[in-house]
Structure formats: C-alpha cells, structure tokens
Amino acid sequence: MAAIKLAHNLPDEAVKLVPMLATGDKIQDRPLAEIGGKALWTKELERALIDDQIDIAVHSMKDVETWRTDIFVISAMLPRADVHDRLIGAASIDDLKQGARVGTSSPRRAAQLQRLRPDLQIVPLRGNVATRLAHIDAGEADATLLAAAGLDRLDMTEVGTELSLDAFLPAASQGAVGIDRLASRADIIPILEAINDVETFTAVNAERAFLAAVGGNCHSPVAALARVEGARVRLRAEIFTANGAELQSGERLYAIGGDGPARLAQELLGKASAELRGIFAS
C-alpha cells in the first residue's frame, strides 16, 4: 500500500487494505504438505480477486503455488528482503546438543539440518513467528529455523543467528513479496509496473521456473537462489533426499530469458539416484 501511494502520489484514502486470515494460518497442528499445500495461504485471496472484493492480492512469494491457473498473474514484486535463514535457540548448528530437537515443518530445512547433523531430531513446528518462538520457550523443541525476512519485518533484527547460504540455501522465492491480479484486469498493469523491482521479479521467476522444471512442491526438499548480474542470471539450486543423505547441487549463469532453470533441473535430476528422482518426478 505504501509503495503504491508513493509511486503514484496518492492520498491515504485512495488505497484500502482488506485484511484476510488464510486457512494456513488457522490450521497449525499439521505439516503443510498434509493439509493441502501452499494453496492454503492463497486461496482466500484468489477467491476475493474473482469475487471482485479486492483489486490486487499481496502474497509472500514462497507461499505461491508453482503451478497456477492462468486467470491469475503475479504482476510485480517489491525489493527482496534478506534471503537467509536464522537459527533460534543456539549460537550455531554445531552448538546444538547431541540429539537436539529442532522444530520445523519445512522439508528443505529438515534435509539441510540432517545432512549436517544426522543426530538431530526433527519435530513438526508451524505457526507464525510468535507462535514458533513460544514453542521454543516452552521447551517443545530446543531450536528452530526462521526466515530472516519475516523476523526483520517484525523489527526482530537481532533475533537468531544468521546461517550461511553455503549450508542453508533458501527456499525459492524466500524474502520476496508479490502482487497478484486477475489476468483480465489489464487496467491495473500500469499501477503495479511503477512499484515492480525488476531484479527481484527476474530472480524469483528464475527460481520458480526451476521448481516447475524439477517438479518441486511443498513435499520436496529443494532450495534455489538466483541473482541478477547485468544481463544475466546466476542460479544456484539443490535437491535432497528427505534425510539429507543425498544432495545434488549445481549452478548456471545464463542470459535473462534463457532456459537456464530447465537445464539446471535436468542436470540435477540426471545426477540423482533413483530414490532422489522419485521425490521430484511429476
């Protein structure tokens, strides 16, 4: 809302917020993959677009499904926030006690943790930042991982220890906020073009293209991060078995608009065992 008002010099009353509570926020006692996947965070907003209750919807891009109906279009993204994960409950992964319980419902984070520390016990943990921190304080888990972007947006910049991208490559789209519209609402395009961060838009779409090519979904231990370097994109990606025992990783530098994401997906799947390929086969 602030970006639109600033870009178009609009008064406060020109843009109205319509708060919504998603199903994914209501159901917090089961892993995402068991209860309907990422659509649990977007379906209420998409229905509001269809019903003309709202003109645009704002999503955390990490929550937007890889495959969507073409009646919706992500038309803009705000400048990307910090893409790192942060560890809560210990100064480092090495400092976690033997057999420590780490709370996460992310297949990616679980695989990355167990690859580094096979002794760690992964316990399901969902909910917003406050809920997850409360679970740690209550002793239900010894530690957890949270996205730095979410903590920073809550002015919790000093909470947790930043984890290296080498060991904890983020989820595709982590830290990015996207603006959704109906494909039929071409009148909104100029409004959103003015707030679109082109580098973020290019990088996140590269990561999402990799997810689509590799067959990744909310069950899949997969990480991807793209950076724009002039007229090219550098894309890094990793796919894991559930326990992190097998990791296939790679990197591609390719011209914007090229087929780098698909080629990188083919490369990683080509190197993978039958077990790992089976996780991503679609």
**Catalytic positions, written as ranges:** 63
Q: CA-CA distance, 158 to 84, in Å (whole number)?
A: 13
User: E strand or H helix at 57, and its extent?
Assistant: strand 57-60
Separation between Cα atoms, residue 273 and residue 269, nearest integer Å: 8
Q: What are phi and psi of 191, to 5 degrees?
A: -65, -45
Diameter over CA atoms, the chain: 58
Confirm if 38 and 64 have CB atoms less than 8 A apart: yes
Distance (Å) of CA 161 to CA 70, 180, 232, 235: 40, 33, 31, 25
Dihedral sign, Cα of residue 238, residue 206, residue 281, residue 69: positive
**Can you give 173-197 as a three-state secondary structure string?**
CCCCEEEEEECCCHHHHHHHHCCCC
